[in-house]
Chains A and B, each alone.
Chain A
């Protein structure tokens, strides 16, 4: 087949990737320059997550795993922040955090800077704490579940846990009313089901990258996860908590770029079938 025999369908199918990437970049930038403010509907999983936290009795202690890596921060960070807003607004809940990802403590600092807990009068060591990154993923979950102090005696900054009032009477998985995990890794999201839900029946809220949701769905269906959300739903959580931030900001961009994808699929298939029916074999 020489170049001259190229049909319009061939040309359409062979659009250079640089052109496709260029269109993609433009569809990212345009809505950022000219925000539209598309509405965002709330899905049932996010509502269920919100309600689970809302119904926690006063004085509950919850465990939060900052199990994501920097690569997933744009998606999971906004969700983590929005949920902390909710917890602190509601009040009366103590939040113990740990990390099964080695970037977790740094991302925790980032989230706290964005959140500013002092606006709710919350104090580190009294209302919330981070007991550090613990290696071993599932071993770490199992060890902390059995006995926190046998695993680590300090928080992430190296200060002894004994100096923090929040840790009084908090020793093992049974002391936690709820487990929340934000993660970019299947080892983490599935590990918590195995090491905490299966072993201690701790109610579990799980927030993963959207791409991981499908593989986690069977756990939710079997009741092992109370609510499974993706970080991409952070905008919905921000709306429920009334603290619009990064999550909601992405709604316009996500809409436009997804419409672009749908258009690409349609055009691609028109080219494919056009070629097929115009006797593409030549």
Chain B
């Protein structure tokens, strides 16, 4: 038997789950409550993890003898000048360091991993000396890749005029097929997530004492909350 704290935890998690799902049917006050809890929890958790990193990593390095970290702490605090109407520009300096790191790390590897490596892999595809089916598949692959790259060329309008329009059509067909595949995979992902919540409700919450009684009560309250205030049988509103 789970201890009391765990039981409370399960009840809370279960109620939040039901309240959030209610939005699929209609907006209501329980959803609003759960949603505000969600936004608050996300912001709170993120802040707490930030503090954890500052203490565990930054402070750890500092007391480990890396005194230069004091500069980082100062820069970090300066980030918050963005909320000041006159001195907001001070936050640009630490932010510039962050942006510079991001841009530098991205540029130096994107050129290889998303550009050259992709070109290299396409260029190495064999059309001769392989079995017919592989050759056909490779040919389809090459045609779609080339035509999609071609499709996204915008400033040479002549490249899309006349008979050349066929290339864009092929590209579009290729992309639509890809989107169909992605769509099906998204269904799988979302359903897996729903399964996770339903599984929690059915195998963790409902076996607890009173949960079977609480479920219909919660649902009735929800349906009630979905009815617009003026049409509710009780309590009667003035307006």
User: Per the CB under 8 Å rule, do A and B touch in the complex?
Assistant: yes
Chain A contact residues, CB within 8 Å of chain B: 17-18, 21, 28-29, 32-33, 71-75, 102-103, 132-136, 138-139, 142, 151-154, 158, 190, 193-195, 197-199, 209-215, 218-219, 221-224, 230-232, 246, 249-250, 253-254, 257-258, 261
Chain B residues 110 to 125 lying within 8 A of chain A, measured CB to CB, are 110, 112-114, 117-118, 120-121
**Are A214 and B109 in contact (CB-based, < 8 A)?**
no
In the complex, the 5 A-B pairs of residues with the closest C-beta atoms, listed nearest first: A74-B196, A222-B121, A194-B109, A211-B186, A102-B49
Q: Is the CB of B191 within 8 A of A258?
A: yes
Q: How far is the CA of A21 from the CA of B46 in the complex (A)?
A: 33
**Contact (Cβ within 8 A) B49 A133:** yes
Please, how many angstroms separate the alpha-carbon atoms of A209 and B53 in the complex? 27
Question: Could you tell me which B residues sit within 8 Å of A by CB distance?
Answer: 24-25, 45-46, 49-50, 52-53, 56-57, 60-61, 64, 101-102, 105-106, 109-110, 112-114, 117-118, 120-121, 178, 181-182, 185-199, 202
Contact status of A193 and B113, CB under 8 A, knowing A28-B194, A71-B193, A153-B64: yes
Q: How far is the CA of A151 from the CA of B57 in the complex (A)?
A: 7
**Residues of B contacting A139 in the complex (Cβ-Cβ under 8 angstroms):** 101-102, 105
Interface Cβ pair total, 8 Å cutoff: 136
B239 to chain A, nearest CB (A): 28
Which listed residue (B25, B45, B199) contacts A18, Cβ 8 A? B25
Contact A230 B185 (CB under 8 A): yes
Query: Do residues B187 and A21 form an inter-chain contact, with CB atoms below 8 A?
Result: no
Nearest to B120 among chain A residues (CB) is A222
Cβ–Cβ contact B192 & A250, under 8 A: yes
- Residues on B with beta carbons closer than 8 Å to the beta carbon of A21: 24-25
Report if A73-B196 is in contact (Cβ < 8 Å); known contacts: A134-B57, A198-B113.
Answer: yes
State the CA gap A28–B46 with chains docked (Å).
33
Q: Which chain B positions have C-beta within 8 A of A230? A: 185, 188-189
Which residue of A74, A218, A219 contacts B192 across the interface (Cβ within 8 Å)?
A: A74
B17 CB to nearest A CB, Å: 12
B118 with A218: CB separation less than 8 A: yes
Query: Which residues of the partner chain B approach A193 to less than 8 Å between Cβ atoms?
Result: 113
In the bound complex, residues from chain A placing their C-beta under 8 Å from that of B25 are: 18, 21
**Closest residue on chain B to residue A136 by CB atoms:** B101
Contacts of B117 in A (CB 8 A): 198, 222-224
Known: A197-B113, A222-B120. A29 touches B202 (CB 8 A): yes
Cβ-defined contact, A103 with B198, below 8 A: no
**How many angstroms between the C-alpha atoms of A158 and B53 in the bound complex?**
10
